[in-house]
Structure formats: structure tokens, C-alpha cells
Amino acid sequence: MRRSTPTARALRRTGATVPCALAIGGLDPGGGAGIAADLRAFAAAGAFGCAAVTLLTIQSTAGVVRVRAIPTREVSSQSEEVLLHQRVRAIKIGALGSAENARAVGRLLAKYSHVPSVVDTPIQPTRGRASLIAAAGLTVLRDALLPPATLVTANLAEVQALLGAKVRTVGEAREAALALAGTGPRAVLVKGGHMAGPEAIDVLALDGEVFELRARRLSIGSVHGTGCTFASLVAGRLARRARERVDHETLLDAIRWAKRTHHAALRRAVRVGDGQRVLMLR
């Protein structure tokens, strides 16, 4: 039976304490991606959203124009303040902007290893030439940020940047997921949205097992903020459900729930201006 997410009205009525999910990532002033998308996804999962900003962008649904990383000390201070005083039950990592930020956030995840973390790996925007992390940050991203993660999510281009190998088939995606899992994270999801075929097949390596998560491929064109939203749906679900260490079934359930919710949102993608469509969550 599908579990329903408590509504804000019901939570207010019962006086329940709501768990927090913390997004650490970039600000998209157009609202389609970055921490704006993260906060909407947390709310859809029933968690209270918090955010620490790592980089400022000039962008809209038409693409990214310019990126400026926030100083690392400020990123750390923002995150530590929330973690110290609020009931953060999951952390989601997005675009970081610099190698120094990636290194600092990696240390943060190691320090708060009892809090499940979902690391998205945005490197290059779908539209625009401004990079979301400096080239020197890729090695740090792989060596310092991925190992302490509970779950890493990566599309095919990001997998190639991290491993140096192209992924074109489900078989290659399985190999890539296991290779990235070998760097330390508990689970890795290689997203198959950019592969060919009638189904969009994501490959998940979790606790040494490999799963294929399938959904009917949608012919909808480019949609903004899909990676941010998916990772944050998982993190928000974990924040709602995790008590102690996240067990195998809880993590698998969160990923499958996020996949269903994300796929439904893709079918409802809307236009809010020029360029790409955006996701609307219910």
C-alpha cells in the first residue's frame, strides 16, 4: 500500500515535530533548478526545507550565463548553523562551484556521517557554457565528496567526467555504477534518461547489488532542474522516514518513490518563460 505524505495542515493540527532536509547547492534565480527546486522537492516529500548557498548564478530557463562561487568559509558556516540548531535528517548536495567548496562539503558529510546524504553531481548545465564546478574540482569531487555519501546520482555526461569512460548501454551503466560505488559511497544511481530506447532505465548499485529502475520514456523535450529535483525527492523521503542508520529497504524505497514521483512530474512539465520547461510537484 502506498504511504501518503502528511499534509502541512495535518502536521499543524497534531503539533508534530517536522524533520528538516538541508540542501547545499547553487541559487538559480529562475527557480527551475538549484536550491529552489530542492526546497519544492523537500516539501513534496513532507520535510521542512533548509538551504546553504554555494554559488550564485545568472540564469533562467533559457540557460546559464554566469556563475560565481561563494567563499568556502561562508558555505561551511551556513551549513553548520543549520545542522547545529535544527533537526536535519538528510542532506542533499548540488552544484558547489569550486574545489575548495567540494573539499569542505566532503569534510562536512564525514563529520555528520550519521545523517544520510544524497550527492547530485552537476558539472555542466544543459544550456549555457558556464561550468558549475571548476575543472580542478572534479578530482576533489570524486575523491573527497563521493566517498562519504549515502547515495550518489549522476547522468551519463557526469559519469564520463568522473570516470573518463562513455556510457551508452545499460550494461555499461551497470559497470559505471559499480565502479563509482567502489570509490566509497553506499549507493550510486546512474541515470539513463539520455540513453536510447522505449524505456528510461536507471541503474542502481546498492550494498553490492545492482537494480534496474524502469519507466516509460517520455517525448517531452528538455526539462530544467530534473537532476536537482530527483536527488532532493530522495533526500526528503529519507528525512521523513529515517530514524537511525538508513537500512537497505528504506533507501531502496526512497529511491523508488522518488522515481515514481519524478516521472509523474515530468508528464506535467510546464512552461514559465523562454527555453526549457520546469517540473511541477504535487
pLDDT (tens digit per residue) in 156-188: 988 988 898 889 899 999 999 999 999 999 999
Confidence of residue 211 (pLDDT cuts 50, 70, 90): very high
What's the confidence (pLDDT) of residue 216? Answer: 86
Mean pLDDT, the chain, rounded, equals 89
Q: Which domains does the chain have, with CATH numbers?
A: 20-278 (3.40.1190.20)
Phi, psi for residue 46 in degrees, rounded to 5? 95, 15
Phi, psi for residue 65 in degrees, rounded to 5? -100, -45
What's the confidence (pLDDT) of residue 282? Answer: 78
What's the confidence (pLDDT) of residue 276? Answer: 92
Residue 102 Cα distances to 18, 46, 123, 166, 253, angstroms = 29, 28, 12, 24, 28
The arithmetic mean of pLDDT across residues 251-255, rounded, is 95
* CA gyration radius, the chain: 17
The arithmetic mean of pLDDT across residues 103-113, rounded, is 96
CA distance 187 to 259: 15
Confidence of residue 1 (pLDDT cuts 50, 70, 90): very low
Residue 126 Cα distances to 72, 132, 223, 276, angstroms = 25, 11, 9, 10
The arithmetic mean of pLDDT across residues 239-253, rounded, is 86
pTM of the model: 0.91
pLDDT digits 0-9 by tens, 17-52 = 899 999 999 999 999 999 999 999 999 999 999 999
> Helix (H, G, I), strand (E, B), or coil: what is residue 186?
coil
CA distance 160 to 15: 47
Of the CA atoms within 13 Å of residue 263, those in its CB half-sphere come to 19
